[in-house]
């Protein structure tokens, strides 16, 4: 999970870097750390310095040494968890909040609330922390990310800008602002923020790979390859950049070049660094309709994850393979893959009851889609109703889970050819997801709205990141556009 979810690790970095003096807040109004050990404090500050350089992997062992020097050092546990995607360490921090300063307590409990899928509670905690320390740029960046996660995007951008005004040298704020603009499709603004980030960290690889990523989203693939190459010159062991540069080449039509980059990354990658590159190679085969060849790479990734005991990677690998089989119409193989992913989630010693419930929901979601494919619509809806009932029990669930319910119902109704009702549900799903865009396009097409279908098919065709959903959705969109371009033009 740690290395496979590099994007998530980097997001944690964006949210969490700061400096911590000894009191509740220093003369600059920044949050402090609570520890009685000067050795632990020194190690912690060294870890934060690595965070400042966008090097969470190097920071993680320093945070570990810090809590080893002071076993009551709550923030050291939290930051170790953030740097290494270690949920148990993050939960450990939440058990140790007595005796820390109030901003620290709120910050830690905010992360705990997010782990428990209570985003609104997390926002409440962070608003309290910012009220206590309004001049702490790091706290404002964290609050901005939570605003964005709860669809308060204008407020998120405002908080990022306040963070930059407070501390213009606080590099994570520029990077996080760039991420917000990029996810909203505001690519010129994203590029400007990321260039500002690079000016603050000119000798680090991370800003250049983000600039490259932006050019990739703008479909300027030559510029993307140029900046990815620049990042690799600074850090030849930045494995994820081989993956991204390969993606840029793939979407530019250079399949051989893409796979060569994935192989180059695999030559350097070890252990849990390898599955992401194997997944990327699998995506290229799914895109070309070569499901059996793709399965070989998925299964290699799962085998590595088993050896590393990376439970989320194991479950995610089977889930990805199941989805590829499902959309290729190979339903028995899909059912077997999804079942293995669910069983893996039950074997993890680190999974909380909340985590297990999440994976049960994913399994039921998959079963619902398989049942819909064979025309068992009532049985499929029973799976959707289970998800809805669990959401009601949760009371204040993560909005993403509610959207997943509408995704499943929309999928079922689409297979039932009730296009109008399907569209109503799909509009309430995650409409930024490329596969849901495909289902929306199918619904428009089924209703005879070819112009509406074309709009979404073009968005899908312009997607430039390798992923499970894009490997499935993009080939269909490209085929549809090729087959229907004349019909759409004549209907206008």
Which range, of 204-208, 245-249, 354-358, averages the lowest pLDDT? Answer: 354-358
Would the pLDDT of 485 be above 80? no
> Residue 21: its pLDDT value, please?
33
DSSP string of 349-378, one letter each residue: TT--HHHHHHHHHHHHHHHHHHHHHTT-HH
Across-strand partners of 25?
31
Mind spelling out the 3-state secondary structure of 171-192?
A: HHHHHHHHHHHHHCCCHHHHHH
> Residue 28: its pLDDT value, please?
54
> Residue 391: its pLDDT value, please?
84
> Residue 487: its pLDDT value, please?
53
- 390 or 194, greater pLDDT: 194
Mean pLDDT of the chain: 89
Class of domain 270-351: mainly alpha
> Residue 13: its pLDDT value, please?
37
Could you tell me the pLDDT band of residue 23, with boundaries at 50, 70 and 90? Answer: very low
pLDDT per residue as tens digits for the range 72-90: 999 999 999 998 888 899 9
Helix (H) or strand (E) holding 345: helix 331-347
In this prediction the pTM is 0.76
Would the pLDDT of 228 be above 50? yes
Contact 276, 3 (CB under 8 A): yes
> Residue 54: its pLDDT value, please?
84
Would the pLDDT of 265 be above 60? yes
Contact 278, 300 (CB under 8 A): yes
Which range, of 10-14, 56-60, 119-123, 237-241, averages the lowest pLDDT? Answer: 10-14
Provide, rounded to the nearest whole percent, the portion of the chain with pLDDT above 70.
92
Which range, of 11-25, 60-74, 182-196, 237-251, averages the lowest pLDDT? Answer: 11-25
Interatomic CA distance for residues 202 and 196, integer angstroms: 10
- The upper half-sphere exposure of residue 422, i.e. CA atoms within 13 Å in the direction of its Cβ, equals 24
> Residue 466: its pLDDT value, please?
87
Domain ranges of the chain: 1-182, 270-351
Which range, of 20-24, 159-163, 209-213, 378-382, averages the lowest pLDDT? Answer: 20-24
Supply 54's token pair: 């966008």
pLDDT per residue as tens digits for the range 112-165: 999 988 999 999 999 999 999 999 999 999 999 999 999 899 999 999 999 999
Interatomic CA distance for residues 471 and 454, integer angstroms: 19
The Cβ of residue 21 has, within 10 Å, a number of other Cβ atoms equal to 15
Would the pLDDT of 397 be above 80? no
Across-strand partners of 31?
25
Could you tell me the pLDDT band of residue 325, with boundaries at 50, 70 and 90? Answer: very high
Interatomic CA distance for residues 466 and 489, integer angstroms: 30
Helix (H) or strand (E) holding 324: helix 311-327
Interatomic CA distance for residues 350 and 344, integer angstroms: 12
Is there a common fold for 1-182 and 270-351? Answer: yes
Contact 182, 153 (CB under 8 A): no
In CATH terms, the fold of domain 1-182 is 1.25.40
Would the pLDDT of 24 be above 60? no
> Residue 349: its pLDDT value, please?
82
Would the pLDDT of 93 be above 60? yes
Interatomic CA distance for residues 150 and 399, integer angstroms: 7
- With 0-12 / 13-18 / 19 or more C-beta atoms within 10 angstroms meaning exposed / middle / buried, residue 189 is middle
């Amino acid at each position: 999970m740690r290395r496979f979810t590099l994007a998530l690790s980097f997001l944690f970095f964006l949210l969490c870097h700061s400096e911590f003096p000894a009191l509740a807040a220093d003369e600059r109004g920044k949050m402090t750390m609570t520890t009685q050990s000067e050795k632990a404090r020194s190690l912690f500050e060294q870890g934060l310095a690595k965070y400042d350089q966008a090097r969470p992997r190097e920071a993680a062992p320093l945070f570990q040494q810090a809590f080893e020097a002071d076993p009551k050092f709550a923030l050291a546990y939290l930051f170790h968890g953030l740097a290494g995607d270690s949920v148990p360490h993050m939960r450990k921090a939440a058990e140790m909040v007595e005796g820390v300063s109030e901003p620290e307590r709120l910050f830690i409990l905010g992360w705990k609330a997010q782990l428990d899928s209570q985003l609104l509670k997390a926002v409440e905690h962070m608003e309290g922390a910012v009220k206590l320390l309004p001049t702490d740029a790091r706290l404002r960046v964290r609050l901005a990310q939570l605003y964005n996660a709860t669809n308060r995007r204008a407020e998120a951008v405002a908080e990022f800008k306040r963070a930059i005004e407070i501390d213009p040298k606080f590099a994570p704020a520029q990077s996080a602002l760039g991420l917000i603009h990029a996810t909203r499709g505001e690519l010129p603004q994203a590029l400007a923020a990321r260039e500002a980030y690079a000016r603050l960290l000119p000798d680090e690889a991370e800003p250049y790979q983000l600039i490259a990523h932006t050019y990739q989203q703008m479909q300027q693939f030559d510029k993307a390859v140029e900046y990815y190459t620049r990042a690799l010159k600074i850090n030849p062991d930045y494995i994820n950049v081989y993956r991204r540069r390969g993606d840029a080449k793939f979407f530019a039509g250079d399949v051989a070049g893409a796979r060569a980059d994935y192989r180059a990354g695999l030559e350097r990658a070890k252990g849990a660094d390898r599955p992401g590159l194997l997944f990327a190679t699998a995506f290229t085969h799914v895109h070309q309709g070569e499901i059996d060849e793709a399965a070989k790479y998925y299964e290699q990734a799962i085998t590595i994850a088993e050896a590393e005991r990376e439970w989320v990677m194991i479950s995610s690998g089977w889930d990805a393979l199941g989805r590829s089989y499902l959309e290729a119409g190979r339903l028995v193989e899909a059912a077997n893959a999804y079942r293995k992913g669910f069983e893996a989630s039950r074997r993890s010693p680190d999974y909380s009851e909340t985590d297990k419930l999440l994976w049960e929901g994913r399994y039921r979601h998959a079963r619902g889609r398989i049942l819909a494919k064979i025309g068992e619509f009532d049985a499929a809806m029973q799976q959707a109703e289970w998800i809805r009932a669990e959401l009601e029990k949760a009371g204040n669930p993560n909005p993403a889970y509610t959207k997943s319910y509408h995704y499943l119902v929309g999928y079922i109704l689409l297979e039932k050819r009730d296009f109008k009702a399907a569209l109503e549900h799909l509009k309430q799903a995650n409409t930024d997801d490329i596969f849901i865009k495909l289902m929306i396009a199918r619904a428009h097409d089924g209703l005879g709205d070819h112009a509406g279908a074309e709009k979404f098919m073009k968005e899908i065709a312009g997607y430039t990141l390798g992923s499970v959903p894009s490997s499935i959705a993009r080939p269909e969109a490209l085929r549809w556009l090729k087959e229907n371009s004349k019909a759409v033009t004549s209907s206008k």
